[in-house]
Structure 1
Amino acid sequence: MAPVHGVKTITTNVGWSVLSKTATFGLKFVTVPILARLLSPEEFGVVAVALTVVQFLAMIGGAGLTAALIMQHDADEETVHSVFWANLCMALLMSVCLYAWAAPLGSLMGAAESAPLLQVMALLIPLQLAGDVAYTLLAKRMNFSKDAMWSTISESVAAIVAVGMAYLGFGIWALVTQLFCSALIRLMGLYSAARYLPLPVIRPRKLTPLLGFSSGVMGSEIANFVTFQSPMIIIARLLGLADAGAYSVANRFASIPNQVVLTAVMGVLFPAFSHMGEDRKRRSEALMLSTQVTTVLLAPAMFGLWAVAEPAMRVIFGPAWAHAWPVLGLLALAKGIITPCSTFIPYLKGTGHGRALFWSAVIRAIVTTGAVALAAWYGTLVDAIIALCVVNAATLVGYSWAVFRVDNIPFFIGLLATSRSMINAMIMAVCVRISLTSLQARLDNDYYELAVGAVIGAMIYGALLLLTERPLLRKLLQLVRTRNAVAA
């Protein structure tokens, strides 16, 4: 019988995951701007294009088997070992294919210079997929504290190594080394934490029950990958590597809050929702609470970054990147619009609604790719990201409709409850932007402008939060009190 996981268990594991991401946030906040000052936009663009290919092949190689393994509560050791060897065989096959076809793939992506990098980075695919089963075992046990620890260690060490190599003049190889260090350290840590030793056992018949769910998950993940990575490829091909580098740097920085919160939340919620089974009441409670909390945390960060993007770009990345401040601001806006959807994908996956997940992802991928390509063809990098903002607004409505329909939640009631904090953040950001514009003559220093913007934004958002989200705040306070009482 599967263990029962309620809101308290979920919040504990989300806490561990968020803690690990927060620990690396400060380091990334420093290292990304340092690397941007040491490397050129073209170098960032080449690595970003190569990494896109590697991540895509690694995702296909996984075939969604580990996700299906989480859903199968009674999986035995033979099934686990069979999934490991199937993953590893696919990873090695993908790695060999990438090495052999690196040159034509690089040209196809609009970055012929990336061919040597692709051949080296092909080794990342088995490194990434080899750790999937160990992570899955930790996820099935809802033991995210150990994964959090090793994620923190791997990201921190890799970032320090990358900065050191960039200072020594290794150029793009600093970024490549960062990827390998992070993957290798995390791989060793996961196996140590999971206490898993692969045995030479493979039973194809054990994989058959997993294929139905895994194929749907793989299809949706491919579509999601296209959604998130197609802008990079389109920009590289239509606008050049310099614009691709500007997009990559701005996207890396704007994604840091998402990496802190969303990756932690999504990693925990998928196995948690899968354990809840048909208990719709607990499922709905966990869905609404997790969506509201992530929106409360993320929306002000993303919309606030949009409000102060111009001085932030000069302060963080230096004068060489100052021209790209609209890119940073619009990417933050695009990510802010989509924050209420952060829990919807793990919800649909964990509750077994593969068809709704698949078609939602496919439609989003097609619309995103088409809109960004059209905007880049007829306009500039800024036009392409504006198109991305429009698509994300439509995605918010579409995903909300799909999820609320599955869980029998009234659409407008659910949309208002999950988007209220985002609306507060939008109001706050507009007020900050207007305030900074009116005070610009007095604020002759970018650091002062950032500080004043942060203070004004915090005051406005705090007031709006107390005005509109008192029931949520009371619920969170009650959860904390209950947990403290149990601990005592």
Structure 2
Amino acid sequence: MSDNTNIKKKAVKGVAWSAIERFSVQGVQFIISIILARLLTPSDFGLVAIVLVFSTIFQAINESGFNTALVHKQDRDNLDFSTAFVTNLAIGVISYCILFFLAPLIAKFYENENLINVMRLCSLSLIINAFGLIPMAVFTIRVDFKTQARASFTAAVISGLAGIVSAYYIKNVYAIVIQYLAYNIVYVSLMWMFVKYSFNVRFSTERFKSLWNYAYKLILARLIYLIFDDIYSLAIGKLYTPAQLGFYNRANSFRQVSSKNIINIVQRVSVPLLCENQKDNLAMVRVHLKFMKATALMVFPIVTGLMVLSKPFITVLLGEKWLPTADLFLLVCPIEFFYLISTFNRNIYNATGKTDWALQSEIVKKMFFILIFLITLNSSLQVFLIGLIIISILEMLYDTYFAKKQIGVTLFEQLKSLLPVLLASAVMGLLVSFVYFITSNIYFQLIIGVIIGVVSYTFICYCFDISDFKANVTIFLKSKIR
């Protein structure tokens, strides 16, 4: 069997199960979030959004650092895993202690005393998740996302039920906290049950240095990215109202379910396959473009369709009180077009090992970020978010510049490969927009719009065989049949 065929089979299987994991979990959580949104208030969601910004930043230290280092290292052994485990656990405990003592200061800054207990409870996830990062690395190295799908889906169902029952009886923000912690506890417990991997808990200074030399630049780059990515949530929570932050948070959540998750699903499968070809630039370019085109084939039409149908979509699912979310949804969705290209280009750092370039890139991009952020800071919320679109474009340009330096793939090559998908999505969007001339009923707008969108886009892609549409569908179906 040729290397190309082997890569394709690994990719299809990995993407399929990664997609099943993410969308089964997100599907359950999506339904649960709708129920919780009807039981709770936008301010409750805004409060948790502030807390999760801080815990997510600390969580990234482990997830983007030592785990990625383990995946990249080809001669890894039990001592490497053990050293990473001890390090992850220590970082988790230290991170929790920092947030525990910072909670009163953060609550004072936002003038909301409820933040103290909410932050101290939610931050327990830093310690809980530290136990699960090693089995996650093992499954990623094996390109085994099927097992992760089983664990995460079960955790989503159990935690979702816990959240709904809590919301029904206590009707406040702690229902979201209970759901969040329950998911992490169940998921980590199941991951250890399924991994069937054991090691002695040891720590090697030499192995730590080896992993750290690779990881610390990625950690810094990821921290810079997350801090600036989440600074909008922090700023909205301070400059506007908790309710407006709740609307923004819901818009972002729908964006993650609809498109950002697809991007993250495929990119995490692409990392180990890029690492396998880290000494062959031409092979890396092929893998890079193949994954990016396949992802765009799914993401671009979803983003386009949701932008056209944003108002009936939000009104039907969440109710009239959440309608301001639709306007914000129109502003956050276009970011996905540029986020897709940036994400896959940032993956190249993981495969080439040029983590110093990753750090350098993030520092320069955030200079642009600060400039745009300050210019739009005292504007309306809509203008504030338009600034985020401009930032996404500038970051995409810079990420593609470094991709060319590493493996020789240009921005023109990438845009050329994505253009057919973009055109097909645009035609689909125009066809879906005609639904507003057919009926004013929001339920019919949503149902007929989705049907027109799916049928027209599939027909266009099949007729013009966009991004090897026919071949990819055939491979996927055969994989599912087996």
TM-score normalised over the length of structure 1: 0.90
Query: Aligned to 1:168, what secondary structure does the other structure show?
Result: helix
Pair 1:476 & 2:478 matched = no
Task: Identify the residue that residue 358 of structure 2 maps to in structure 1.
Answer: 357
CA distance in 2, matches of 1:35, 1:275: 43
Relative to structure 1, the CA distance from residue 345 to residue 63 in structure 2 (aligned partners, 3 Å threshold; closer, same or farther) is closer
- The one-letter amino acid paired with 1:246 is F
CA distance in 1, matches of 2:272, 2:64: 18
CA distance in 2, matches of 1:157, 1:259: 24
- Following TM superposition, by how much is the alpha carbon of 1:47 offset from its aligned partner in structure 2, in angstroms? 0.6
CA distance in 2, matches of 1:321, 1:423: 32
- Count of matched residue pairs: 479
- The one-letter amino acid paired with 1:361 is E
- Tell me the percent identity: 17
CA distance in 2, matches of 1:468, 1:341: 27
Q: Deviation string for 1:270-322 (max 9, x for gaps)?
A: 22221222133332222111100100101111121111111112111101111
Relative to structure 1, the CA distance from residue 352 to residue 190 in structure 2 (aligned partners, 3 Å threshold; closer, same or farther) is same
Relative to structure 1, the CA distance from residue 142 to residue 459 in structure 2 (aligned partners, 3 Å threshold; closer, same or farther) is closer
Pair 1:224 & 2:220 matched = no
Query: Aligned to 1:383, what secondary structure does the other structure show?
Result: helix
Q: Deviation string for 1:91-142 (max 9, x for gaps)?
A: 1111112112211133346755311111122211111122111111121222
Query: RMSD across aligned C-alpha pairs, in angstroms?
Result: 2.6
Pair 1:343 & 2:339 matched = no
Relative to structure 1, the CA distance from residue 46 to residue 63 in structure 2 (aligned partners, 3 Å threshold; closer, same or farther) is same
For structure 2, which runs of at least 5 residues remain unmatched after alignment? none
- The one-letter amino acid paired with 1:367 is F
Q: Deviation string for 1:311-347 (max 9, x for gaps)?
A: 1121111011113310122222222443333422323
Task: Identify the residue that residue 392 of structure 2 maps to in structure 1.
Answer: 392
Query: Aligned to 1:277, what secondary structure does the other structure show?
Result: coil
- Following TM superposition, by how much is the alpha carbon of 1:223 offset from its aligned partner in structure 2, in angstroms? 2.0
Query: Aligned to 1:75, what secondary structure does the other structure show?
Result: coil
Relative to structure 1, the CA distance from residue 461 to residue 365 in structure 2 (aligned partners, 3 Å threshold; closer, same or farther) is farther
1:114-193 matches, within 5 Å, as 114-193=115-194
Pair 1:451 & 2:460 matched = no
State whether residues 68 and 215 of structure 2, in contact with CA within 8 Å, keep that contact through their aligned partners in structure 1. yes
Task: Identify the residue that residue 92 of structure 1 maps to in structure 2.
Answer: 93
- Following TM superposition, by how much is the alpha carbon of 1:208 offset from its aligned partner in structure 2, in angstroms? 0.8
- Following TM superposition, by how much is the alpha carbon of 1:410 offset from its aligned partner in structure 2, in angstroms? 4.1
Relative to structure 1, the CA distance from residue 235 to residue 354 in structure 2 (aligned partners, 3 Å threshold; closer, same or farther) is same
Q: Which deviates more from structure 2 when the two are superposed, residues 133-142 or residues 291-300?
A: 133-142
Query: Aligned to 1:142, what secondary structure does the other structure show?
Result: coil
1:374-389 matches, within 5 Å, as 374-375=375-376, 377-389=377-389
CA distance in 2, matches of 1:142, 1:110: 46
CA distance in 1, matches of 2:366, 2:161: 35
TM-score normalised over the length of structure 2: 0.91
- Following TM superposition, by how much is the alpha carbon of 1:259 offset from its aligned partner in structure 2, in angstroms? 5.4
- Following TM superposition, by how much is the alpha carbon of 1:228 offset from its aligned partner in structure 2, in angstroms? 2.7
- The one-letter amino acid paired with 2:445 is E
- Following TM superposition, by how much is the alpha carbon of 1:452 offset from its aligned partner in structure 2, in angstroms? 2.5
Relative to structure 1, the CA distance from residue 471 to residue 297 in structure 2 (aligned partners, 3 Å threshold; closer, same or farther) is closer
CA distance in 2, matches of 1:37, 1:365: 37
1:299-314 matches, within 5 Å, as 299-314=300-315
Query: Aligned to 2:170, what secondary structure does the other structure show?
Result: coil
CA distance in 1, matches of 2:119, 2:476: 48
1:395-414 matches, within 5 Å, as 395-414=395-414
- Following TM superposition, by how much is the alpha carbon of 1:78 offset from its aligned partner in structure 2, in angstroms? 1.8
State whether residues 78 and 201 of structure 1, in contact with CA within 8 Å, keep that contact through their aligned partners in structure 2. yes
Relative to structure 1, the CA distance from residue 470 to residue 50 in structure 2 (aligned partners, 3 Å threshold; closer, same or farther) is closer
CA distance in 1, matches of 2:393, 2:420: 14
CA distance in 2, matches of 1:250, 1:470: 30
1:244-263 matches, within 5 Å, as 244-258=245-259, 260-263=261-264
State whether residues 281 and 408 of structure 2, in contact with CA within 8 Å, keep that contact through their aligned partners in structure 1. no
Relative to structure 1, the CA distance from residue 484 to residue 280 in structure 2 (aligned partners, 3 Å threshold; closer, same or farther) is farther
CA distance in 1, matches of 2:443, 2:480: 40
Query: Aligned to 2:203, what secondary structure does the other structure show?
Result: coil
Query: Aligned to 1:101, what secondary structure does the other structure show?
Result: helix
State whether residues 436 and 449 of structure 1, in contact with CA within 8 Å, keep that contact through their aligned partners in structure 2. yes
Q: Deviation string for 1:79-99 (max 9, x for gaps)?
A: 211111111112111111211
Relative to structure 1, the CA distance from residue 392 to residue 124 in structure 2 (aligned partners, 3 Å threshold; closer, same or farther) is same
1:57-72 matches, within 5 Å, as 57-60=58-61, 64-72=65-73
CA distance in 2, matches of 1:470, 1:200: 50
Relative to structure 1, the CA distance from residue 328 to residue 187 in structure 2 (aligned partners, 3 Å threshold; closer, same or farther) is same
